[in-house]
Amino acid sequence: MTKEEADRRLEKFKDALSSDFSDRRIVDAHILHGACFAVSEDDHYSLKEEIANEFSLKVHQDIFVVGSAKLGFSISPTKRYRIFGDTSDIDVAIVSHDLYEKVWHETHEYMESGAYWPDRRQFEKYLAWGWIRPDKLPRGVSFEFTEAWWEFFRSIQVSRRYGPYKIAAAIYHDMTFLTKYQMNSVAACRNIAGDQ
């Protein structure tokens, strides 16, 4: 899509902030559902299907493209309203209690082994918020999940089926945590708009 389309989507989002006082409704309407900016409707489905097949998940229930790839602009505090571009990532939220628990148990065993894990505290911080950031997982041959995860997402990027973008994903325990995280970002945008 074009920059003009991203600008149009941004104005529509800002209008929603001023007219719709439900952060949950804005998240549902603009972030979790509807057309994806960065890829076509067919590619949007194919990307979600590819991820769902890799992790034995459901396409429509467990996989969500989020962030600037979905909206056409970022609502992250450090990049607020930056338009999606060639250096942007396609961010994916995977919502799966089972996958989350699997990774959580594996990281617990790794921690108990006493192995070196420089990002442990950061990992624990996100875990408390109900999501797993794979870039904070242990690395190396003694923690196989991390290498398999990155290899899978690298293979999608290298294929360039969905453009030249890096594809990154996080795992959420359930929809409540994903929705609350997105609602916090929407609320921050609303607060900024209210201050202007």
pLDDT in tens, 77-122: 899 999 999 999 999 999 999 999 999 999 999 999 988 899 999 9
> 59: which 2 tokens?
């396409």
Residue 79 φ/ψ, nearest 5 degrees: -130, 25
Q: pTM for this one? A: 0.92
CA distances, 50 to each of 47, 58, 122, 161, 167 (Å)? 5, 10, 29, 11, 12
Residue 193 confidence (pLDDT)? 60
Distance CA 192, CA 57 (A): 37
Q: Count other Cβ atoms within 10 Å, centred on residue 30.
A: 20
The confidence band for 7, taking pLDDT boundaries of 50, 70 and 90, is very high
